[in-house]
Structure formats: C-alpha cells, structure tokens
Amino acid sequence: LTTSTSRYGLAVESTRERLIDAATRLLDEGGPAAVTLRDVGRMAGVSHNAPYKHFADKEDLLAAVAARELARQRVRRRRSPDAEDRPADEVLRAMMHRYVRWALRHPARFKLTFGSWSTDSAELAAAATDARSALISAVERAQAAHTLGAGDPERVAALILATAHGAVDLALGGHVSRTGKGRADPYDVVDDLLDRLRP
Amino acid sequence: LTTSTSRYGLAVESTRERLIDAATRLLDEGGPAAVTLRDVGRMAGVSHNAPYKHFADKEDLLAAVAARELARQRVRRRRSPDAEDRPADEVLRAMMHRYVRWALRHPARFKLTFGSWSTDSAELAAAATDARSALISAVERAQAAHTLGAGDPERVAALILATAHGAVDLALGGHVSRTGKGRADPYDVVDDLLDRLRP
DNA sequence: ACCTGAACACCGTTCAAGT
DNA sequence: ACCTGAACACCGTTCAAGT
C-alpha cells in the first residue's frame, strides 16, 4: 500500500502517489504533452526533477498512471454485482457499456492505456490479461445461457472488444457525429453487435 | 497540382510538397514527436523555419500529411476494380482488408489520421465523408445481393468500420498477440464479423 | 513571395551537492 | 533514501532582415 495514515488520522500520500495524482490530472486536462515534469513536481510540492527519484523517466511515470488506472478498473470489476442474479447477456452488455463510459469520460487515460509501451511493465501486462479473461468468462456464461451465439469464446470476446474499442476511438476523433439520423454513438454500435450475435 | 515538370522533363516538387514528404518520412520512422521542424527543414533543404511560410504551425503540417494520405486512398479506391464483376460481399471484405493492411503497414499515419484535429481542415472532412460513403454503398450492394444481413446501411457500416478500426488499434498497441491458438489478428476479427453478419 | 539567422521560452534529462 | 539547483541539448515559435 502506498497510502499510510498519520497518527493524527490524516491520510498521507507518499510523494510517489502524489506524483501520479498530479500526472493524471495534467493528462486529463491536456494529454501526454501537458504532463511536464516541471508541472508534475510543482503540483506535488517537490522540485522539477524529484520525479526521477521515483520513475526512470517521463514514460515510466505515464506507465504508472496507466497501471493505476487498470488496477482501479479491476477493483471496480470485482465489486460489481455479477453473474448470479442478472441474466448473463445483460452482464456482458453492462460490462461493455462500462468500458465505453470510462473511455468517453477519460479519453486521455483511454488513449494512454491502450497505446504502445516500450516499457513493458509486468503490472500493465497482468492488468490487461485480467480484463481479457473477465470478458471471456462473461462471453462463456452468456453462451451457456444461450443468449449469445456459439463460437470460440476467445474469438467472440476479441470481436466484442475490438468493436467497442473502435467505436470509442472513432467517436473521440470526432469521426462519428453523435447526432443526426442513422448515426450511432459507441453505445449503439456495441448494442448493434450484441443484438446480431444472438443465437 | 503541386508537382510541376521542368523543361528538362524532371518532376520538380514544390517546397511545400517536399516538406510534406519529409514530415511523412519522419512520422513513419518515429511518430509525431520525431517530426521536428528542424529535421523537416533539413530533409527538404531549407531552413528550420521555412515551414512557417507554408503551414501555420506543426499541427497544420501534420494535418497536410493526413490529408494527402486520405487523398491517395481515395485515388486507390477509385482505381480498384469494383462492384461489377466481383460478388458484393467479396468487394466489401476486400475493402476492409485493404483498410487493415494500410493501418498495419503505416501505423503512425493511421494513428495520426484518426486522431483529434483542432485544425478542422475542410480537406480532411471531405476525405472522411468520401471514405464513409464508399463503405456505405458497399454495404448497400451486399445487402441488395442478399450476402449481408438487412438493417440500416449506415448503422451496419458504422459497426464494420468500428470493428476493423478497433482490431487494428488493439493490435498496434500489442494488446492482441498475433500468435497462439484462439488469438485473432485484425483480419480474422473482420472476417468473424462479416461471417456473422450473413443473412 | 519565399527564405534565413538570431533569439526566446520551454522541456526532458543529467549531475554535483545537500540532509 | 530522498531531494534541490544549476546546467545542457533540443524544440516550437517569433521577429527582423534579406532577395
């Protein structure tokens, strides 16, 4: 754990954690270019090169932002009321809608997380694998309940993820106008696919 | 036309065209960050701020790179032997495969072209609309030939494009391992979708 | 109309030094 | 172990000046 509690009961964030906080805020406001180590340091109350004591370089700091984002998604996924009470196809649909909502709300984090990493962090790889297997098992449950067509679950999962990912990315680029008849927002695109994947 | 021919028969590129050439090459080699105006100028044989006489700023130069890329795709699309002799579903599939091949071959151009543009160039918008309508009419022809399921052509086209786009983007991020059983490369993902969209 | 060279502000990164 | 301040090389952009 990176957050400790002082004897006065105040949550005290480590410098490392405050640096990641600052980087995330700057990223949300202006993309990776706006994450200058000078501003990061200033926001965290340290000098402009204190970050180098915690991260190898700027990319390593951004990798930590992405890793924390994925870790939080994992926690949220574990907390969400799952397969037991709701129909499996609804669970799957809700999972993809959550993905779209997160991406639209935090476009810079979305772009960062799915960008290329020369720093191959084990943390990032593990989080990605975890998300992938959660999607695959949701697909398997929906197939078992006969609310989703048959086929290799990994292939079906890859198809669903690609569609959701692409719909969001095109929407963020402004290449899909959200209004106008016949136009589909990312939620609609995901729904269209899931409807057509029915058995 | 930006290329004129000298009286000796040599194709002479305008400075503007040479600047776009240089920017494209640097982009392919190292992404947008590698496109420094100093290197662009050097490669084009001019000073490091000659580009400002042709483009408002760096983003405007990159917009010109994207616009030229889209214009070339349009030419290629117009040249390709179309709907007449081949089955409509094959034409549609070939169109999406061409999209995937282009993106995998020129990842930096792909990312650039579909990124956000604060410079809203009319050229870019026109090229995007042209590509979109080409896809929609391919969908309509396949539907008319009953080799593609019914539904609003714009919605079906949006679904297909989102899937191809997302499959490529995930592959470029290294989030889809190309080998291993059950794993699907972008071509497979597109094929899976088209197969499931059959009537 | 098109280009150059100097200059400015800014950024990532390194280094020697401090507690 | 963690941090600071000065310094270096590099970059986008501006400006005055040249033909």
pLDDT computed for residue A63 by the predictor: 93
The mean predicted confidence, pLDDT, of chain A is 88
pLDDT computed for residue A129 by the predictor: 86
Q: Give, as ranges, the nucleotides of chain D with any atom within 7 Å of a protein CB.
A: 2-6, 10-15
pLDDT digits (tens, 9 = 90+) for B133-154: 999 999 999 999 999 999 999 9
Nearest to B64 by CA among B51, B48, B46: B51
- Closest Cα in chain A to B112: A173
Cα–Cα distance measured from residue B96 to residue B159, given in angstroms and rounded to the nearest whole number: 12
pLDDT digits (tens, 9 = 90+) for A159-188: 999 999 999 999 998 766 555 555 789 999
CB < 8 Å to B184, chain A: 154-155, 158-159
The minimum CA-CA distance between A163 and chain B, rounded to whole Å, is 4
**CB-based burial label for A13 (10 Å; 0-12, 13-18, 19+):** middle
CB B55 within 8 A of CB B19: yes
Work out the angle at residue B30's Cα, subtended by the Cα atoms of residues B28 and B32, and round it to the nearest 5 degrees.
Answer: 85
Say whether A162 and B170 touch across the interface (CB within 8 A): yes
pLDDT digits (tens, 9 = 90+) for A103-140: 999 999 999 998 877 666 777 788 888 889 999 999 99
A45 pLDDT more than 70: yes
Give the total residue count for chain B: 199
pLDDT digits (tens, 9 = 90+) for B42-69: 999 999 999 999 999 999 999 999 999 9
Q: Which whole-number Å values give the CA distances from B2 to A84, B12, B15, B59, B154, in the listed order?
A: 64, 9, 9, 20, 35
Question: What integer is the mean pLDDT of A28-55?
Answer: 95
Question: What integer is the mean pLDDT of B91-111?
Answer: 96
Q: Is the CB atom of residue B60 positioned under 7 angstroms from any atom of strand D? A: no
pLDDT digits (tens, 9 = 90+) for A15-32: 999 999 999 999 999 999
**Which residues bind near strand C, taking a CB cut-off of 7 Å?**
A 35-39, 48-49, 52, 57-59; B 15, 41, 46-47, 49-50, 52-54
Cα–Cα distance measured from residue A53 to residue A46, given in angstroms and rounded to the nearest whole number: 11
B10 pLDDT more than 60: no
pLDDT computed for residue B6 by the predictor: 46
pLDDT computed for residue A12 by the predictor: 60
- In this structure, the strands spanning A11-13 and B3-5 are unpaired
List residues of chain B with CB under 8 Å from any CB of chain A. Answer: 114-117, 128, 149, 151-152, 154-156, 158-159, 161-167, 169-170, 172-176, 182-184, 186, 188-189, 192-193, 196-197
